[in-house]
């Protein structure tokens, strides 16, 4: 049975608001997402019986108002677009500063709200990592295994009504990892103070969860803290050092751990891992309750006062076989913000070794890089740095899309370019590249100045009509009193520099965002 609805009043297309229940006269209840508030609609069901379509009775109704108890962001159209292929924008709002948390929303291209989600918990926050066909994957706060920690403790799949479809938490994963022999996967509150060298634990979900693996499997990022001897990574405190790394965990259909990959196991760089002696490119660190860092649970007396934020993974992508060249199964690509690296590991649909298959990044800063860059635009800094939302579009055939935050590129010389001579070197960029695993060469397709510098977060997406969506996600506004995000659609003309921006929708800061046909058609990456 299919349900259709038609807007009675107003001129905007009713393609995607809050849930509105539509009751079938016999036994079925439908909940339809994507309608405007305070708007009259007509809806009817169609029954397909052996190819014969029978229309049901028309139901007329008016949607409700947005609740006054829920804080919503406001959206400003700076550049208007009439994209009929992708008329919906999903806003994954976060609050990294001191401002209030606003509801997760979807809007039309004019910023009118057509869906929202506001968790009923202590923080009301949810990091939306990926849209699904009928909902979202989210990372949420609440108490689980440790009554002292609530940040990033839950992975939840919600439907479009905000109902929890399934969930797991860090405490559950710790027990499952220990049972599988994961040396770094246990809880953080079992060590003496100070924790001895070699102590390690997982503490929180962070940055990404994807559900694009075969059989509905899910991959998620968790942080790993591990204590190393004094002086590691050049630390001068004379105390043992807390190094912050990452683990990739794959969950089966029941969200039980089926596979994991630990950046520290084995430590020291075996199997092509990044050597633990190698510092973050910009020497990033994490302190207690620091914005942009997970909860730091091993810091304290007798440990260096700041942890070294060594890897800072922020994106996962499943590259299906045989498109990735591995006929025995698909592999996983991850993005490391603090190493300026994009990396492919041998997953082979759970049968892989976990070995690194290649590194992609600037060779002058990343000697591990296996690729060269075909600098067709003669850019003084062609490679992305501190990038976010890396994925391969068109089901894995390409191109690879990247939000190039540019932190290293804009840093003072000699690390970065500092005040370079061209305007395209001081802002974040939207990038699309092709690459060959035969010639090991990366070639840019699009390398566009987005007009804003976002030091963290961000999105990159190829749209079905050939245009691109990019999200500079954390931009100071109003004399640095607030931070906003800018949902941008740029034209598909291969370009370098300032490409044509055909949509600029400004709203509260975000982690990620997506431009989609409707709430039931998520991006494939």
For the chain, the C-alpha Rg in angstroms (whole number) is: 23
| 166 contact partners, CB below 8 Å, separation of at least 6 | 156, 157, 255
Q: In this structure, are residues 520 and 469 in contact, taking their beta carbons and an 8 Å threshold?
A: no
Query: What predicted TM-score, i.e. pTM, was given to this entire model?
Result: 0.92
Distance of CA 425 to the CA centre of its chain: 24
Distance of CA 183 to CAs 179, 187, 229, 436, Å?
A: 10, 11, 18, 36
Q: Mean pLDDT for each consecutive 10-residue tract of the chain (525 residues)?
A: 42 38 55 90 90 92 94 95 94 79 96 95 88 96 85 95 96 96 93 96 97 97 97 96 97 97 70 83 94 93 97 97 89 97 95 92 84 93 96 96 96 80 73 96 93 95 95 87 92 67 95 96 88
Q: What is the DSSP string of 38-52?
A: T-EEEEEEEEEETTE
Give the pLDDT confidence score for residue 367 in this predicted structure: 78
Give the pLDDT confidence score for residue 423 in this predicted structure: 53
Beta-sheet pairing, 307-309 with 241-251: parallel
Domain ranges of the chain: 2-62, 119-363
Note the helical H segments in 210-312. none
Give the pLDDT confidence score for residue 27 in this predicted structure: 58
Q: In this structure, are residues 248 and 260 in contact, taking their beta carbons and an 8 Å threshold?
A: yes
Give the pLDDT confidence score for residue 266 in this predicted structure: 65
Give the pLDDT confidence score for residue 21 in this predicted structure: 44
Alpha-carbon distance of 321 to 141, in angstroms, equals 35
């Amino acid at each position: 049975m299919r349900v259709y609805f038609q807007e009675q009043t107003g001129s905007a297309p009713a393609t995607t608001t809050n849930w509105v229940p539509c009751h079938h006269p016999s036994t079925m209840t439908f909940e339809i997402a994507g309608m405007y508030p305070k708007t009259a609609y007509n809806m009817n069901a169609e029954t397909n019986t052996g190819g014969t379509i029978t229309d049901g009775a028309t139901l007329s109704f008016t949607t409700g108002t947005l609740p006054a108890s829920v804080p919503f962001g406001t959206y400003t159209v700076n550049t208007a677009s009439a994209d009929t292929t992708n008329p919906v924008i999903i806003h994954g709002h976060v609050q990294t500063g001191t401002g209030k948390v606003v509801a997760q929303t979807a809007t039309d291209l004019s910023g009118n709200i057509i869906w929202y989600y506001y968790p009923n918990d202590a923080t009301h926050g949810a990091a939306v990592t990926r849209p699904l066909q009928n909902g979202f994957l989210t990372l949420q706060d609440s108490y689980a295994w440790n009554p002292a920690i609530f940040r990033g403790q839950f992975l939840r799949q919600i439907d479009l009504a905000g109902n929890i479809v399934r969930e797991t938490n860090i405490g559950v994963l710790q027990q499952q990892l220990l049972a599988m022999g994961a040396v770094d996967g246990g809880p953080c509150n079992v060590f003496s103070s100070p924790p001895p060298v070699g102590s390690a634990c997982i503490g929180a979900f962070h940055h990404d969860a994807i559900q694009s693996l075969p059989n509905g499997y899910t991959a998620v990022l968790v942080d790993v803290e591990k204590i190393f001897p004094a002086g590691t990574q050049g630390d001068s405190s004379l105390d043992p050092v807390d190094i912050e790394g990452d683990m990739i965990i794959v969950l089966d259909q029941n969200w039980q751990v089926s596979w994991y990959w630990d950046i520290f196991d084995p430590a020291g760089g075996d199997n092509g891992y990044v050597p633990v002696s190698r510092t973050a490119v910009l020497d990033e660190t994490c302190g207690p309750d620091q914005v942009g860092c997970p909860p730091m649970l091993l810091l304290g007396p007798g440990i260096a006062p700041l942890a070294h934020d060594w890897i800072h993974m922020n994106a996962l992508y499943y590259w299906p076989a045989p498109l990735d060249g591995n006929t025995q199964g698909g592999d996983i690509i991850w993005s490391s913000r603090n190493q300026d690296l994009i990396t492919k590991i041998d997953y082979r649909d759970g049968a892989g070794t976990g070995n690194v298959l290649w590194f992609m990044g600037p060779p002058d800063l990343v000697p591990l890089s296996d690729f060269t860059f075909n600098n067709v635009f003669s850019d003084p800094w062609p490679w992305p740095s501190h990038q976010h939302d890396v994925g391969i579009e068109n089901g894995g055939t390409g191109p690879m899309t990247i939000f190039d935050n540019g932190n290293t590129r804009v840093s003072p010389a000699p690390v970065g370019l500092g005040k370079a001579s061209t305007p395209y070197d001081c802002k974040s960029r939207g990038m699309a590249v092709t690459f060959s695993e035969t010639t090991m060469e990366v070639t840019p397709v699009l390398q566009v100045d987005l007009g804003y510098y976002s030091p963290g977060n961000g999105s990159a997406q190829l749209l079905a009509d050939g245009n691109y969506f990019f999200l500079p996600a954390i931009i100071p506004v109003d004399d640095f009193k607030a931070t906003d995000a800018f949902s941008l659609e740029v034209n598909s003309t291969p370009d370098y520099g300032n490409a044509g921006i055909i949509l600029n929708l400004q709203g509260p800061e975000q982690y990620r965002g997506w431009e989609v046909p409707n709430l039931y058609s998520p991006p494939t990456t």
